[in-house]
Amino acid sequence: MMLKSALIIVVIFVNFFPSFVSANNVIYSKEVAVLVYHHIDDQVQGSVTISTKLFERQLSALQRQGYNFITMDQFKSFMKDGARIPDNAVLITFDDGYESFYTNAYPILKKMRIPAVNFVITKDLDNPTATLLPSLSRDQIRKMRKEFSNIDFQLHSDQLHAMKDGKPMLNNKLTVNGSTETDEDLRQRVISDTKTCIAKLKEVNGAKSIDSYAYPFGSYDDFTISYLTEAGVKYAFTTKAGLTSVQTDPMQIPRINAGSPYIRPHSINNLINQSQRQKLEGTKA
Whether 157 has a pLDDT exceeding 50, the answer reads yes
Lowest mean pLDDT among 83-87, 137-141, 279-283: 279-283
pLDDT of 12-60, one tens digit each? 444 444 444 455 689 999 999 999 999 999 998 899 999 999 999 999 9
**What's residue 282's pLDDT?**
60
Mean pLDDT estimate for the chain: 91
Kindly state the greatest CA–CA separation across the chain: 64
Residue 62 counted as domain residue: yes
248 or 176: which carries more pLDDT confidence? 248
CB 195 within 8 A of CB 232: yes
pLDDT interval class at 153 (50, 70, 90): very high
Region of poorest pLDDT, from 17-21, 192-196, 214-218, 272-276: 17-21
Interacting residues of 225 by C-beta distance below 8 A, sequence separation 6+: 236, 251, 252
With residues binned 3-state (H G I as helix, E B as strand, rest as coil), the percentages for the chain, rounded to 5, are 45, 20, 40
Question: Averaged over 262-285, what is the pLDDT?
Answer: 82
Quick check: 207 and 72 in contact, CB under 8 A? yes
What local confidence, expressed as pLDDT, does residue 44 receive? Answer: 87
Assigned domain for 64 exists? yes
Domains identified in the chain, total number? 1
CA 285 – CA 283 distance, rounded (Å): 5
Amino acid at residue number 189: R
Residue 6 clears pLDDT 80, i.e. is over it: no
Domain that holds residue 241: 32-264
For 77-93, the pLDDT digits (tens) are: 999 999 999 999 999 99
Q: What is the DSSP secondary structure assignment for residue 181, as one 8-state letter?
A: P
Least confident of 3-7, 129-133, 190-194, 196-200: 3-7
Q: What is the phi/psi pair of residue 272, to 5°?
A: -65, -45
Which has more confidence, 279 or 213?
213
Instruction: Please report whether residue 271 resides in a domain.
Output: no
Residue 285 lies inside a defined structural domain of this protein: no
Residue 244 lies in a domain: yes
What pLDDT sits at residue 61?
97
Give the least confident one: 6-10, 239-243, 277-281: 6-10
Any domain includes 254: yes
Task: Establish if 124 belongs to a structural domain.
Answer: yes
- Per-residue pLDDT at 11: 43
Does a structural domain hold residue 18?
no
Pairing of strands 212-214, 116-120: unpaired
CATH number at 96 reads 3.20.20.370
